[in-house]
Amino acid sequence: MISPHGGRLVNRVISPDLDDIRELEHVSIPEEMQGDLRNIGIGVFSPLEGFLSYNETESVLKEGRLPNGVAWTIPILLPVEKSTYPDEGSDVVLNETAVMHVEEVFTFDKKEAARSIFGTDSTDHPGVKRFLSLPDTFAGGKIDLLKNEREPFYNFNLEPKETRVLFKERKWRTVAGFQTRNPPHTGHENLQKTVLGLVDGIFINPLIGRKKPGDFTDSVILNSYKVMIDHYLPRDRAVLSILATEMRYAGPKEAVFHAICRKNFGCTHFIVGRDHAGVGNFYHPEAAIEVFDQYPDLGVKIISIRGDFFYCNVCKHLASERTCPHDEKDHINFSGTRIRELLREKKRPPDEIMRSEVFEALLQEEHPFVGE
């Protein structure tokens, strides 16, 4: 079994004396940060044991590594409002969910940080816009998780210690992690089946959490994958479980972060495709593949998929511009925008693009898109 990132799977879930907790100062943090609190506590973000300090943040921004040299690309930060600054050295309760041992309260240049994380400080970038809207002050320090909530997707919310036991029980020596934030089209299915020819199992790990308006909702993604796996993947070689964290749209830096999280779940391989975690035209389509050249010590093997998939009417199967010699007019593209349009009009996409069972699952959702 592959070692967790940094060598040790973090477990900071505690059963505290409730009287002690009641006496501590209680601080509210945004609801969407609950997921990251839990991810730290159950080891998805190993080796992090809490929110980053100033030195750790600077090291991640400037070197893409923690101060001890371990690869880490996305700073996990706790923004705090002026009215709720916790005292350095104090213990505070965050949203009744975790105790934080506050080591320091600090500020830094957020625009410079945005350029490091996202490669831009343009507020046209949804990740930058969100990041720059955060308070200017941050609290760093270890956390202990008081409540290990598995909702809203209880049945599909495995912890790294559980997936590690599961992979071992299934005798999977090699496991490929598959990141997704969209329902599966036949291009995804084809890719997953190809990868299953290389490894023992596939861990389909949709990212559940805050996304930008117009993206598919969490339940749409999960339900459509359930249908796809039930009908078209060998069930003993595929596992579906969520990763609850927000999309940052940080392209290459987020691709490395995604790989680290999947390594902690026990994946030996991680699939990175065109424009992974990208948005608009902010990143070169292969930037998220090439970034891994800077991390030969990551420990997880990257399966890089270059090029765009489409269905070719001449080849009569799925292809990409790297494999198909025919003209563009012979291609049916997997445009996410087109699939969204068809869904809005309740028109079925061609079978070459999306399985009818999967599309039926999408139609079941009254509100399939974020913010609509």
Partner 1 sequence: MSDKRYTTVSIPVELAEKIEKRIEGTGFHSISSYVTYVLRQVISSIEEDEKKEVFSKEDEEKVKERLRGLGYLE
Indicate whether 158 belongs to the interface with partner 1 (CB under 8 A).
yes
- State the DSSP H helix or E strand holding residue 347, giving kind and residue range, or none if neither: none
Q: How far is the CB of 104 from partner 1 (least distance, A)?
A: 13
As a whole number of Å, the CA-based R_g of the chain is 21
The nearest distance, CB 74 to partner 1, in angstroms, is 16
Per rule CB under 8 A, is residue 155 in the interface with partner 1? yes
The upper half-sphere exposure of residue 296, i.e. CA atoms within 13 Å in the direction of its Cβ, equals 0
CB of 100 to partner 1, least distance (A): 21
Cα angle: 156, vertex 334, 178; to 5 degrees:
30
**Residue 240 or 279: which CB sits closer to partner 1?**
240
Could you confirm whether 210 is annotated as catalytic? no
Q: Determine phi and psi for 100, rounding to 5 degrees.
A: -110, 130
Work out how close the CB of 276 gets to partner 1 at its nearest, in angstroms, rounded to a whole number.
19
Q: Which of residues 100-119 bind partner 1 (CB under 8 A)?
A: none
Residue 10 pairs in a beta bridge with none
Name which position in 162, 200, 352, 365 contacts partner 1 (CB under 8 A).
162
Q: How far apart are CA 189 and CA 172, in angstroms?
A: 20
Q: By CB under 8 A, is residue 213 in contact with partner 1? A: no
For the chain, report the end-to-end CA distance as a whole number of angstroms.
43
Q: Which residue of the set 115, 150, 170, 181 is catalytic?
A: 181
Query: Could you confirm whether 235 is annotated as catalytic?
Result: no
Question: Nearest approach, Cβ of 34 to partner 1 (angstroms)?
Answer: 21
Instruction: List the structure tokens of 148.
Output: 């290990």
Query: Contact with partner 1 (CB under 8 A): which of 63, 121, 200, 352?
Result: 63
Structure token pair of residue 329: 């007019």
Residues 6+ apart with CB under 8 A from 95: 27, 28, 29, 31, 33, 34, 37
Count of residues engaged in binding partner 1, rule: CB under 8 A: 31
Q: Are 34 and 95 in contact (CB under 8 A)?
A: yes
Our finding on whether 4 is near partner 1 (CB under 8 A) is: yes
Out of 11, 182, 190, 333, the active site residue is 182
Kindly tell me which of 70 and 196 has the beta carbon lying closer to partner 1.
70
**Which residue's CB is nearer to partner 1, number 10 or number 247?**
10
Burial class from Cβ neighbours inside 10 Å (0-12, 13-18, 19+) for residue 344 reads exposed
Determine, following the binding rule CB under 8 A, whether residue 239 of this chain makes contact with partner 1: yes
Instruction: Pick out residues in 284-343 that bind partner 1 (CB under 8 A).
Output: 293-297, 299
Distance between CA 344 and CA 368 in Å, rounded? 9
x-or-dash string of contact with partner 1, 40-59, rule CB under 8 A? ---------------x--xx
Q: Are 298 and 259 in contact (CB under 8 A)?
A: yes
Applying CB under 8 A, the residues found at the interface with partner 1 are 1, 3-4, 6-9, 55, 58-59, 62-63, 67-70, 155, 158, 161-162, 165-166, 169-170, 239, 293-297, 299
The residues assigned a catalytic role are: 181-182
